[in-house]
Structure 1
Amino acid sequence: MTSFVGRREELTALAGLLARARLVTVTGPGGVGKSRLAVRAAARAARSFPDGVQLVEVAEVQDALLLGHAVLEALGLTDSTARPPLDVLVEQLAGRRLLLVLDGCEHLVAACAELVDTLLRALPGLRVLATSRESLQSAGEHLLAVAPLPVASGPAGLPDAVQLFADRARAVLPGFALGPADEPEITQLCRRLDGIPLAVELAAGRLRALSVEQIAARLDDRFKLLTGGSRGALPRHQTLRTTIGWSHELCTVQERLLWARLSVFAGSFELEAAEYVCAGDGIEADEMLDLIGDLINKSVLLRVTEPAGRPAGPGTPRRPARWSTGAAAVRYRMLDTLREYGGQWLRATGDEQRLLRRHRDWYLGVATWGEVEWFGPRQAETAERTELAHPNLRAALEFCLAEPGEEQIALLMAGTLWFYWVGCGHLGEGRHWLDRALALAPEPTEARAKALWVTGYMATLQGDLHRAGPALEECRRQALATGDDRALAYALHRQGCAALIGDEPGRATELFEEALWHYNTIGELNSNVLMAMFELGVAHLFQGETETGELWFGRVREVCEEHGEQWAYAYGLYAMAYAQWLAGDVRLARAYARECVRLNYLFRDLLGIVLGVEVLALLETEPAGPGEDCDLVEARVLQGAAHRIWQGVGKPFFGSRTFNGAHQECEARARAGLTEQEFLEAFELGAVLDLDAAVCRALGDEERPGGPGRLPGPRPSPRTPSPWPVRNP
């Protein structure tokens, strides 16, 4: 958003290092411009990396165990298995030529070093550019130490630090002009700031209210007042702290108070969150907007406009514009160094625990409201809102798990987020939080019951029945002992899922029917209930009771149309596609299956995507009508693509013989009609397709969005209209 000033020598040196080294770490003190330099260099080097350049903001991750999940998310790689994230990264990045930028590693140096060592040893096409206040001390690491900007004039003209000050001054004072009389004063000011870019920018921002002479005079006072840092710290660290402290001193009492309180946020946040968490005891809610504006003006807060959907990565384009709730919402973010400084002041006031609890309360509300709105026409907006809140949800969960007495809230929050873990491709992380919370809170409570069935549900989707069975049985026993009818309904429902994928459709039918009876008795109607109806229909279908199954699928369709629900609706489309294949209507089956893939692709639900792709592969072995031929090669290509997607879900078809039947039928037909070489080559062709390419192929689109080395474009919209148009009130 602002111009890049200077650093020509550093950019040249960094380009040379990236050309010959696989791991380069940019080091230097906080505020010296490591991140800006790394991003600039990475952008220039993008053409050398056909599979792209991707930024991972490590500074947002506080738990070393979540580092791998954060890298997966930044890359746009969705994995719902119980495998370690490092294993998933190695598998999904195999064969890629990619530059990974890890920004802000200093608080997780050991974890970053382990991740980098593992990835670089396993992936010869990968290079890593890291920024950190200290080196990673990894094998093969090349270091580039970033010094402050020059403050002495050279043959090229103005020193870079002075040029930076002048550039930022023009941004706040459009009429600002750097004359000969001003240059010595500004040069002296930049020299006193040691040329640290953050300090220079903060100083330039003060021109809104002060002259250059006044800034210099007040800076002298602040240096005298705010000395006394650690004697062992680098002078630049002391200078930066002094500069931030001086900026802090120039804030009003209310601005300082808000600065401290906003330090509880991780990543970006919206105005409403700041109003709820930070208002009161000295700050009125109606003053918040003006105070936030003041902090933006003083370069304490950044104003950011978040795009809809997660950042794009290799093989995973960002969500299309239809996911946006309208104009991009303005959010705010504090630089990490400033956030740390504000956190120290917050702790000094003795108010940190209260603010952390209010932060926790807000994001518990985000989770709770998201669960409510997941059933209805606002599912897309719910997914987007929860995605933007993800760093703060992590921070809130971490607080609950670290603070004695908060374990039940951790169970409640992690369980309530089931819709995000399951529906938006975060099964692995969801189980991480739930496992930790369940271990800390063994007493039988309503929150534990919910956490148990959610854990069992996610483990079932991963094909991990050894974990799913005990969790669901404990939930059922606790529900019976405590009279918790809701928990009993969910436990029975998810036990039915386990029976269905365990090749017991008869027992699954009984459990689903009992669960639906309980749901009806307590008046429960939501996406989970619709999934129970869908799954009951599948159980009947697998027992040869096609008409009964289709009756349940029709009921799912009716409720989805009535409420504008799309996630469960997409699974209904999968079942209807399968049913229509059994009935011999290939054209309608293909329309259903394509719409199933399209909708699940929008939600990032890998399980729904891969089930739809498997049906489409099977349908390629059938002529769509008189005079039309089947395409056995395309069937095998799609099977290869599905095989790769399954690796990010868990066991293919959950390890179920019943669900695997259609796949085996497709494979047998292809093997019978193709040569062995054609059979193997077509599968391998599909197995190398990344997610967006596989989905485009399945939907019949000829062009994949985006291309090598650049951000992909909008996700594809299939030409096949939805056979079940969902009413959007």
Structure 2
Amino acid sequence: MSSEPTVERSGAPAGRLPADVTSFIGRRAELAALAGLLASARLVTVTGPGGVGKSRLALRGAAAAARAGLFPDGAWPAEIGAVRDPLLLGHAVLNALGLTDATARPPLEVLVEQLADRRLLLVLDGCEHLVGPCAELVDALLRAAPGVRVLATSRQALGATGEHLLPVAPLALEPAAGGGAADAVALFVDRAAAVLPGFELTEANRAEVALLCRRLDGIPLAVELAAGRLRALSVAQLNLRLDDRFRLLTGGARTAPERHRTLRTTIGWSHELCSMQERLLWARLSVFAGAFDLEAVEYVCAGGGIEAEELLELVAELVGKSVLLREEGPHGVRFRMLDTLREYGGYWLRAGGEQHRLLRRHRDWYLGVATWGEVEWFGPRQAETAERTRLAHPNLRAALEFSLGEPGEEQLALVLAGTLWFYWVGSGHLGEGRHWLDRALALAPEPTEARAKALWVTGYMAILQGDLARARPALEECRRQALTTSDDRALAYAVHRQGCAALIGDAPERAAELFEEALWHYNALGELNSNVLMAMFELGMAYLFLGDGDSGEVWIDRVRELAEEHGEQWAYAYALYALAYARWSAGEVRRARAYARECVRLNHLFRDLLGIVLAMDVLALLETEGPDGDLVEARVLQGAAHRIWQAVGKPFFGSRSFNGPHLECEQRARDGLTDQEFHEAFRLGGLLDLDAAVSRALGRGGRPGPGGLPGPRPVRPSPVPAG
């Protein structure tokens, strides 16, 4: 039953490098230098002042290196500018790499482990405010992962060992040998044509354009801001007004580097040329971290001089003036402000005394995003909700940071961190979720409803990480508080999660009692959501572990029925895992494989590693069944599952019951393979990244084999064979 092990790594992905939204002008020499450095150096830092084009150059160079095949595992950008808490740096990089950290370990440890055998380029963009932490992360990563290289952008060097610097100067002001326009002039003409269709470089305006670019020192951001004014002013008028602004605004800044003064003056001049409302909106938009949509702008920024119905036009004006960047994706149009412009807007927001009010409105909007996401999580839009929350993640971090740092806002920090349970759990961010909850719980010890929810969410996440030492005290405190304050809902959730602790603690009989009690409470409250369905699934598993398959499948079928009725897929996927376990126990290999594969496929939609890895271990065991079994393939899947467990937490939560299929598979493989085959197949499985492992589990490249299932329908979960 053995065969030659084969492992297919995923192709050469480009990572998640963003597509260019405007043309890339010039920088041929810099791109050539960067290509040479990336081919030989493991850490390259692109340095230069704000607005000089570091990020565009780095991303362009990274894309070229990826296309050239230098990095088989792709080039991956991580935006560091929006990360304010150094403790979240590792989480942010993991998220950017598409790696899920659900463990209780330090994220850097997980990152090092996950990238140990990868050959990829990590682009850390905007490191200047976290130079020390970034240097520590890079140093640890490069020491432990020989196939990883790092390309950073920063206004100053990181100071890490082995760092190679690529200083970026402004664009050339003189034409290159062979003629053509200077790079700075070419950039101005390109951006001018975008706001003034038909604009081109002519003999009549060539001298004025060249003069303008020289006065702007060829700084790309300054050139783009100036080009954005052409709808109202001619190039000659731009020169005259800019000359006036330089004389006025540089007088008190003689100690600053000349180019810094030029950029600051150009931004200030562009700011002055904006209307009063545009300036006000510019300042207010500085509270956003990362990208944001128009709906968020309308809520956060309206009022006090700006009517909601005026915001669409004002946003369009700021896009036209290059103050905002417009990004169009599968989830609609979003906007982003460069860090340099955000800093300038933040200055005026503070000067106008509006910062606190705007930060609170920003927090309130993203609390609404979280609250609505929790509601929509139980329904047919779960995958869309997960993606919408992922897009809002940088702003959710900013909202949490504000609530935790502002006296009197601690309760809302508890509410926000607790409400996001569906994202922390369902999309694999347990480590970061616990970070925020631990901080909030430490700041708000009062026995409030918000604290009760934060406690059971903390207990739940700790259980999933196999951390019973933290889970049990949190859940017991929640239960005591619920009884004292007559909080029936918190009591139901506390009892439910205590049942989970008993289940992974190998006390299925006690677990069943607690799940039954929790479901009684849920029924009395009229509570029905994904948590309630999970309680039914967990009760079914408790019965299966007790050997009562009939009772177990009654509850699992109830989960399927309710999930299909409401279009819910996350808890439904866990029910499929339970059915796979039950059908394997009954000797029905074909049905068990179909259920387990569909569980893997659905959980992959949410990036829920726990659901994936539980089903993958069952699929490994199923490979050992029957005369056509493949022990080598079983062992490859076990190796892939082991790698995933490293990003989840303690394998099988430390539970003997959940570990049963794994141990059975391991023993069968050991009995039927040579030692070399046994260990080599496991090692090769460990080389598979998540997507490749899922593809393998779904049937040698992702095609469902016998007993496989069709893809998902738009609303209802995919059909599965009747039990």
TM-score bracket relative to the smaller structure: over 0.9
- Once the two structures are TM-superposed, the CA of residue 153 in structure 1 deviates from its matched residue by 4.2
Determine which of 358, 373, 376 is the counterpart of 1:370.
373
* CA deviations over 1:264-318 (Å, ceiling 9, x no partner): 11111111110011001111111111111111111111111234xxxxxxxxxxx
Aligned AA (1:51): D
Confirm or deny: 8 A CA contact 1:106 1:133 kept in the other structure.
yes
Confirm or deny: 8 A CA contact 2:508 2:545 kept in the other structure.
yes
Aligned AA (1:244): I
Q: Distance in 2 between matches of 1:229 and 1:721?
A: 71
Determine which of 51, 57, 73 is the counterpart of 1:31.
51
Partner of 1:224: 247
Partner of 2:153: 131
Does the alignment pair 1:167 with 2:190?
yes
Does the alignment pair 1:662 with 2:661?
yes
Partner of 1:296: 319
Query: Which is worse superposed, 489-498 or 213-222?
Result: 213-222
- Once the two structures are TM-superposed, the CA of residue 728 in structure 1 deviates from its matched residue by 3.2
Confirm or deny: 8 A CA contact 1:229 1:238 kept in the other structure.
no
Does the alignment pair 1:492 with 2:505?
no
Does the alignment pair 1:52 with 2:74?
yes
Partner of 2:13: none
Q: Distance in 2 between matches of 1:432 and 1:45?
A: 36
Q: Distance in 1 between matches of 2:109 and 2:712?
A: 39
Q: Distance in 2 between matches of 1:190 and 1:221?
A: 16
- Once the two structures are TM-superposed, the CA of residue 129 in structure 1 deviates from its matched residue by 1.1
Partner of 2:104: 82
Determine which of 538, 542, 567 is the counterpart of 1:539.
542
Partner of 2:449: 446
Aligned AA (1:630): G
Q: Distance in 2 between matches of 1:420 and 1:545?
A: 33
Does the alignment pair 1:64 with 2:86?
yes
Partner of 2:566: 563
Partner of 1:710: none
Q: Find the residue that maps to 2:658 and give its secondary structure.
A: coil
Query: Which is worse superposed, 1-10 or 249-258?
Result: 1-10
Partner of 2:708: 720
Q: CA 1:523/1:718 → structure 2, altered by over 3 Å: closer, same or farther? A: farther
Determine which of 615, 619, 627 is the counterpart of 2:622.
619
- Once the two structures are TM-superposed, the CA of residue 724 in structure 1 deviates from its matched residue by 11
Does the alignment pair 1:521 with 2:524?
yes
* CA deviations over 1:423-468 (Å, ceiling 9, x no partner): 0011111001001111111111110100000000000000000110
Query: Which is worse superposed, 13-22 or 401-410?
Result: 13-22
Query: Which is worse superposed, 682-691 or 432-441?
Result: 682-691
Q: CA 1:702/1:381 → structure 2, altered by over 3 Å: closer, same or farther? A: closer
- Once the two structures are TM-superposed, the CA of residue 723 in structure 1 deviates from its matched residue by 11
Q: Distance in 1 between matches of 2:186 and 2:214?
A: 13
Confirm or deny: 8 A CA contact 1:59 1:103 kept in the other structure.
yes
Q: Distance in 1 between matches of 2:713 and 2:560?
A: 9
Does the alignment pair 1:632 with 2:631?
yes
Confirm or deny: 8 A CA contact 2:227 2:321 kept in the other structure.
no
Q: Distance in 1 between matches of 2:467 and 2:436?
A: 17
* CA deviations over 1:583-631 (Å, ceiling 9, x no partner): 11111111111100100111110000001001111111112xxxx5222
- Provide the aligned length of Structure 1 versus Structure 2: 694
Q: Distance in 1 between matches of 2:710 and 2:57?
A: 47
Q: Distance in 1 between matches of 2:361 and 2:90?
A: 29
**Structure 1: 5+ residue stretches without partners:** 308-327, 705-715
Confirm or deny: 8 A CA contact 1:457 1:494 kept in the other structure.
yes
Partner of 2:8: none
- Once the two structures are TM-superposed, the CA of residue 722 in structure 1 deviates from its matched residue by 5.8
Partner of 2:18: none
Q: CA 1:724/1:193 → structure 2, altered by over 3 Å: closer, same or farther? A: closer
* CA deviations over 1:118-174 (Å, ceiling 9, x no partner): 111112212111111111111111111111112234533232211221222222233
* CA deviations over 1:196-228 (Å, ceiling 9, x no partner): 011111111211221111111111122233235
Q: Distance in 2 between matches of 1:134 and 1:89?
A: 25
Q: 1:129-278 maps to which residues of 2 (within 5 A)?
A: 129-157=151-179, 158-228=181-251, 230-278=253-301
**What TM-score, normalized to structure 1?**
0.93
Q: Distance in 2 between matches of 1:717 and 1:726?
A: 23
Q: Find the residue that maps to 2:657 and give its secondary structure.
A: coil
Q: Distance in 2 between matches of 1:30 and 1:229?
A: 20
Query: Which is worse superposed, 93-102 or 417-426?
Result: 93-102
Partner of 1:316: none
Partner of 2:333: 330
Partner of 2:42: 22
Q: 1:470-509 maps to which residues of 2 (within 5 A)?
A: 470-509=473-512
Q: Distance in 2 between matches of 1:569 and 1:91?
A: 31
Aligned AA (1:365): G
Q: Distance in 2 between matches of 1:228 and 1:599?
A: 62
Q: Find the residue that maps to 2:161 and give its secondary structure.
A: coil
Q: CA 1:603/1:153 → structure 2, altered by over 3 Å: closer, same or farther? A: closer
Partner of 1:645: 644
Query: Which is worse superposed, 223-232 or 34-43?
Result: 223-232
Does the alignment pair 1:279 with 2:298?
no
Confirm or deny: 8 A CA contact 1:591 1:722 kept in the other structure.
no
- Once the two structures are TM-superposed, the CA of residue 694 in structure 1 deviates from its matched residue by 0.9
- Once the two structures are TM-superposed, the CA of residue 336 in structure 1 deviates from its matched residue by 1.1
Determine which of 412, 424, 427 is the counterpart of 2:427.
424
Aligned AA (1:79): D
Determine which of 367, 380, 391 is the counterpart of 1:388.
391
Q: Distance in 1 between matches of 2:465 and 2:431?
A: 9
Q: CA 1:504/1:249 → structure 2, altered by over 3 Å: closer, same or farther? A: same
Query: Which is worse superposed, 101-110 or 146-155?
Result: 146-155
Partner of 1:98: 120
Does the alignment pair 1:574 with 2:577?
yes
Does the alignment pair 1:340 with 2:328?
no
Q: Distance in 2 between matches of 1:692 and 1:264?
A: 36
Alignment RMSD: 1.7
Does the alignment pair 1:551 with 2:554?
yes
Query: Which is worse superposed, 664-673 or 354-363?
Result: 664-673
Query: Which is worse superposed, 200-209 or 418-427?
Result: 200-209
Partner of 2:143: 121
- Once the two structures are TM-superposed, the CA of residue 231 in structure 1 deviates from its matched residue by 3.9
Partner of 2:609: 606
Determine which of 463, 466, 472 is the counterpart of 2:466.
463
Q: Distance in 2 between matches of 1:723 and 1:505?
A: 34
Confirm or deny: 8 A CA contact 2:577 2:599 kept in the other structure.
yes
- Once the two structures are TM-superposed, the CA of residue 3 in structure 1 deviates from its matched residue by 2.0
Confirm or deny: 8 A CA contact 1:414 1:433 kept in the other structure.
yes
Partner of 2:17: none
Partner of 2:406: 403
Q: Distance in 2 between matches of 1:577 and 1:728?
A: 20
Partner of 2:9: none
Q: CA 1:718/1:38 → structure 2, altered by over 3 Å: closer, same or farther? A: farther
Q: Find the residue that maps to 1:524 and give its secondary structure.
A: coil
Structure 1 segments, 4+ long, off by >3 Å, are: 228-232, 716-719, 722-729
Aligned AA (2:430): L
Q: Find the residue that maps to 1:102 and give its secondary structure.
A: strand
Confirm or deny: 8 A CA contact 1:61 1:391 kept in the other structure.
yes
Confirm or deny: 8 A CA contact 1:606 1:645 kept in the other structure.
yes
Q: Distance in 2 between matches of 1:407 and 1:27?
A: 39
Aligned AA (2:644): I
Query: Which is worse superposed, 234-243 or 463-472?
Result: 234-243
Q: Distance in 2 between matches of 1:582 and 1:507?
A: 22
Q: CA 1:425/1:394 → structure 2, altered by over 3 Å: closer, same or farther? A: same
Q: Distance in 2 between matches of 1:89 and 1:724?
A: 32
Q: Distance in 2 between matches of 1:138 and 1:635?
A: 43
Q: CA 1:668/1:723 → structure 2, altered by over 3 Å: closer, same or farther? A: farther
- Once the two structures are TM-superposed, the CA of residue 233 in structure 1 deviates from its matched residue by 2.2
- Once the two structures are TM-superposed, the CA of residue 229 in structure 1 deviates from its matched residue by 5.4
